[in-house]
């Protein structure tokens, strides 16, 4: 049983996703190391560095089933790195050609490049999930563009808004994250190949040609120089995942607040037993939102770990590099799990317009006091209009009457507004400003 709940067969159903775990599974990592070794042999064979027959044999042997897990574990424990055992197992499986395995490479070349291949696959999953989530939120935004609800600041009712705009606001940063991801790829999807100390001295004059050939074999970019001790690519990747989780946590926090019994304006999708309590039969807890917030807090805790690894010493990091192996896969798994939860909410979100209207009516029209004030300002001047409406609000609060009734009794407004005009000004649906236009702008970004 794994000690990390995100990787367990039981609690893992709440954290992470099977698809992302498959990308960063330990067996997948070792297969990626073998893929890099095989690609290196093929690139070197084309340049005449090693015999073509050797490269073919190495490529055929570069399969995980040719490695002995017990030997790999013992080698890693002894050497302090995983590649020594990989090279030994691959060399043995390749027969006589094994003598040409790992030619001119160092452990960090193989590990870093293998992780880059995992990151490439992981970012592909993240991008697809981001796009699906944006599509779901955009659909909800379009569906609810006229579903009026209370907008809240400092957790108190402020002005009317719409659920459609709220969905668009949730979607907007996620659209930005898709663009950030696309820009990030060129900076992180680079081959790592520098040899023992970043000089490729063992390959003589062909070092850069081999590096570029290896990059081409793996469909990666070739850096200007080795990045053994330049860790900003991996650090930026996890920081980017932290940004995604921040946006998801905002979305989830809003859902949690809107599902409160006293609010009841939105609910997560429900099926029998979903969000059940062990003692309270009536409960439908917002569990998807809960695990989004939990995942985000853990990913945010991993970002400083990755930033700390940038202080790499000399030509090979000690400790900083190894810390990445712990943090980076976990950040990917948790982020993708949070995206899966967010997608399920966005697709199946249940709106309760009746509850929204009930909450709008709680203040008997005070939520649109600004609308009345702005409607009167052209006749009375802004300061006088503000004073008159403020007095009417005080009366409404003191006597527990509607703002419309208080306005009708306000001496300063006598003859200025008839009852029909008062009702129009105090209808929240008539004070939505640019909500439709903002929704359309976000929808345009999404397409």
Active-site residue list? 277, 316
Q: Interhelix angle for 52-61 vs 83-93, to 10°? A: 110
Nearest CA among 358, 357, 393 for reference residue 372: 393
Ramachandran region, residue 418 (left: φ > 0; alpha: ψ -120 to 50; beta: rest): beta
C-alpha to C-alpha distance for 167 and 170, rounded to whole angstroms: 5
Strands (E), 247-311: 266-267
User: In a 3-state reduction of DSSP, which class is residue 160?
Assistant: strand
Residue with tokens 């991801």: 181
Residue 266 has phi, psi (to 5 degrees) of -140, 150
From the CB of residue 94, how many other CB atoms can be counted at a distance below 10 Å?
A: 25
Per-residue b or e along 131-152, where b marks 16 or more CB atoms closer than 10 Å to that residue's CB: ebbbbbbbbbbeebbebbbbbb
Residue with tokens 């590096």: 211
């Amino acid at each position: 049983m794994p000690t990390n709940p995100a990787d367990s067969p039981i609690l893992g159903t709440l954290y992470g996703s099977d698809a992302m775990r498959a990308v960063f599974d330990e067996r997948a990592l070792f297969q990626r190391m073998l893929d890099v070794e095989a690609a290196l042999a093929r690139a070197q064979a084309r340049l005449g560095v090693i015999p073509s027959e050797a490269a073919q044999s190495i490529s055929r042997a570069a399969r995980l089933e040719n490695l002995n897990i017990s030997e790999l574990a013992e080698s890693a424990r002894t050497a302090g790195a995983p590649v020594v055992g990989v090279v030994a197992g691959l060399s043995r499986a390749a027969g006589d050609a094994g003598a040409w395995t790992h030619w001119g490479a160092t452990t960090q070349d193989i590990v870093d490049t293998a992780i880059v291949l995992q990151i490439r696959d992981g970012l592909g999953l993240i991008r697809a999930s981001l796009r699906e989530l944006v599509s779901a939120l955009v659909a909800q935004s379009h569906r609810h563009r006229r579903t009026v609800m209370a907008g809240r600041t400092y957790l108190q009712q402020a002005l009317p808004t719409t659920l459609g705009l709220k969905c668009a606001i949730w979607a907007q940063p996620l659209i930005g994250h898709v663009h950030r991801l696309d820009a990030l790829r060129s900076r992180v999807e680079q081959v790592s190949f520098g040899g023992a100390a970043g000089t490729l001295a063992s390959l003589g004059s062909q070092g850069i040609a081999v590096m570029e050939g290896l990059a081409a074999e793996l469909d990666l970019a070739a850096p200007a120089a080795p990045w053994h001790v330049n860790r900003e690519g991996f650090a930026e990747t996890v920081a980017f995942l932290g940004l995604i989780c921040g946006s998801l946590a905002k979305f989830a926090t809003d859902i949690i607040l809107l599902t409160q019994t006293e609010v009841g304006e939105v609910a997560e999708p429900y099926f029998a037993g979903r969000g059940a309590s062990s003692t309270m039969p009536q409960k439908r807890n917002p569990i998807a939102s809960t695990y989004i917030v939990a995942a985000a807090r853990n990913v945010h805790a991993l970002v400083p770990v990755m930033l700390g690894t940038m202080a790499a010493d000399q030509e090979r990091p000690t400790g900083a590099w190894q810390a990445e192996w712990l943090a980076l896969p976990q950040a990917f798994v948790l982020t993708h799990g949070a995206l899966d939860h967010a997608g399920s909410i966005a697709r199946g979100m249940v709106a309760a317009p009746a509850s929204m209207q009930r909450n709008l009516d709680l203040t008997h029209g005070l939520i649109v006091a600004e609308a009345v004030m702005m409607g009167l300002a052209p006749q009375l001047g802004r300061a006088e209009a503000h004073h008159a409406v403020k007095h009417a609000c005080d009366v409404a609060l003191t006597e527990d009457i509607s703002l419309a009734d208080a306005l009708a009794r306000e001496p300063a407004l006598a003859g200025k507004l008839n009852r029909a005009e008062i009702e129009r000004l105090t209808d929240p649906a008539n004070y939505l400003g640019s909500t439709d236009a903002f929704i359309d702008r976000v929808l345009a970004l999404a397409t």
